[in-house]
Amino acid sequence: MAQRQGALLLLRRGMAVCSRCSAGGSAGALAGSEGAAQQAWRALGRGGCGAQRAWSSLRAAPGRDAAGAWRSFASRLHATLAAEANGAAGAAAGAAAASAGAAAAAGPPGAALAAGVPDAARRAMAWWLGGCTAWVFAMVVIGGVTRLTRSGLSMTDWKFTGERPPLTQADWEAEFEKYKQSPEFRLAHSHMGVEDFKFIFWWEYGHRMWGRVLGLVFALPTAAFAVKGAVNGPLAGRLGLLFAMGGAQGLVGWWMVRSGLEEPEDRHAVPRVSPYRLAAHLTSAFAIYATLAWTTLTLAAPASALAAAPPAAAAAAAALRRRALPLAALVGVTAVSGAFVAGKDAGRAFNTFPKMNGQWVPDDYFSGLPPLRNAFENTAAVQLHHRALALTTLAAVAALFASSRGAPLPAAPRRWLAALAAATGAQVALGITTLLLHVPVPLGAAHQAGAMLVFASALGLLHSVRPAAASRAARAVSRAAPPLGLAATAAVGYAVTQMK
């Protein structure tokens, strides 16, 4: 109770100071009489500075939370008074400190996700979502191993609610009989026995179950935080959107697998999933990974570091942001082009570098297909494009790193830029090694993991240089997140009910 009364007294003093500042008078003594505090309260309420919302949220908060919040507030007030004493514009800073709602609206992109969320809950959610991000990372790597071991078509049906694995020899024989009806068994694995089948089955089953367990790891804490009142409107929309994206990813995965269970047009061809559907599946995984990672970073650090940066550092960060955004897009395009390499099994062709079997542009590059189809369906073209994109990305990252070395950047962007440069260099070296060795499974899986690390580094760099104030477009996206999340969830639910 004493802590709560102390916090309320701090609020009264803060209101008085903010009122004096907004009136243009001197912000002399911090403490004022009770009458002056009440007058300040009424003036601020009429001025619409958000004081009423701050007062209401404080009175509703537990004593410990209130005391901690207003100790921080008192610290900002002292800074405001010192700034005004030195001739700074303390009035605007004091009014902004008193208005939590306005600060969230004008803060960096995504800051509304943390508005009104207690610090303890915000940190807990950051750790939880960071764990979900790592889970998605592992799932993409497991998916890569599943593809590289040619295990992805071992399960010939799909149930949204999941299914238990074979437990007895009779169960295994029944599952194997279903696989023997598939084109892959007849055209590529006719030599396989039930013991060999168990190996590829467990990889595909593990990949599917990893995704379903992620649904529980995500959904149960979401419900728990919501019950505790720690999820505000924008954050609820973001979490709903993520849940819908996860459900949609399962549907896309089965849609991809179904393409490999169909009879190939060439009777002698090895059955494979559609490269287009594989690229859609990987792109969806990257979208989930990016949204989770960005939300984690925002909850861990809601305020932009640029807000308190010197003008020169803020200007250098803004220049870096303008160049980092297209670079992040290039990283994403390069990763998706790798999906087409995987879909065509193009990594096992042209296993020389830098030339492709002695030619810079192999004769097979022009296959006679229409240009658009040739770019995505011709093995030589797909590999050449991935090589070119990877080397372009490496050159762009190196140029950005070199040109930013002398810039007065804050510490966080400098660290993320160094991580991006290191990850990109390692990824290109790993890709070349994997190609020269004809894509051994461990190196192929490591190369897929490397793509995720490069992408994560680019996201971290963008987050570290996000502007101190959100643009009008960013605020509009934040307001649209809750209905978008609900609509996406409803769409996925409908699709699931329609799937046979």
17 versus 367: which is more confidently predicted? 367
Mean per-residue pLDDT for 172-177? 94
The reported pLDDT for the residue numbered 49 is 41
In whole numbers, what is the pLDDT of the chain averaged over residues?
79
Three-state secondary structure readout of 113-175: HHCCCCHHHHHHHHHHHHHHHHHHHHHHHHHHHHHHCCCCCCCCCCCCCCCCCCCCHHHHHHH
Indicate whether 133 pLDDT > 90: yes
- CA pair distance 192, 190, nearest whole angstrom: 5
Q: How confident is the model at residue 475 (pLDDT cuts 50, 70, 90)?
A: low
390 versus 187: which is more confidently predicted? 390
Indicate whether 85 pLDDT > 50: no
Mean per-residue pLDDT for 91-114? 49
Mean per-residue pLDDT for 438-451? 96
The reported pLDDT for the residue numbered 3 is 41
Sign of the C-alpha dihedral computed for residues 238, 243, 246 and 248 taken in this order: negative
- CA pair distance 393, 192, nearest whole angstrom: 42
Q: How confident is the model at residue 163 (pLDDT cuts 50, 70, 90)?
A: confident
Dihedral class, residue 87 (left if φ above 0, else alpha if ψ from -120 to 50, else beta):
left
Contact by Cβ (8 Å): 485, 244: yes
Tens of pLDDT, residue by residue over 229-266, are 999 888 998 999 999 999 999 999 999 999 988 887 76
The reported pLDDT for the residue numbered 146 is 95
The reported pLDDT for the residue numbered 78 is 45
Tens of pLDDT, residue by residue over 209-228, are 999 999 999 999 999 999 99
Contact by Cβ (8 Å): 113, 295: yes
Contact by Cβ (8 Å): 261, 156: yes
Q: How far is CA 324 from the centre of its chain?
A: 16
Give the Cβ contact number of residue 307 at 10 Å: 12
The reported pLDDT for the residue numbered 488 is 61
Mean per-residue pLDDT for 404-413? 91
Indicate whether 188 pLDDT > 50: yes
The reported pLDDT for the residue numbered 495 is 58
Residue 359 main-chain phi, psi, to 5 deg: -130, 145
289 versus 3: which is more confidently predicted? 289
The token duo for 378 is: 């011709």
First to last CA, the chain: 60
**pTM of this prediction?**
0.75
What is the b/e burial string over 347-367, where b = at least 16 CB atoms within 10 angstroms of the residue's CB?
Answer: bebbeeeeebeeeeebebbee
Contact by Cβ (8 Å): 117, 235: yes
- CA pair distance 101, 53, nearest whole angstrom: 8
The reported pLDDT for the residue numbered 173 is 94
Q: How confident is the model at residue 306 (pLDDT cuts 50, 70, 90)?
A: confident
Domain range list for the chain: 108-302, 305-469
- CA pair distance 269, 222, nearest whole angstrom: 46
Sign of the C-alpha dihedral computed for residues 95, 474, 334 and 133 taken in this order: positive
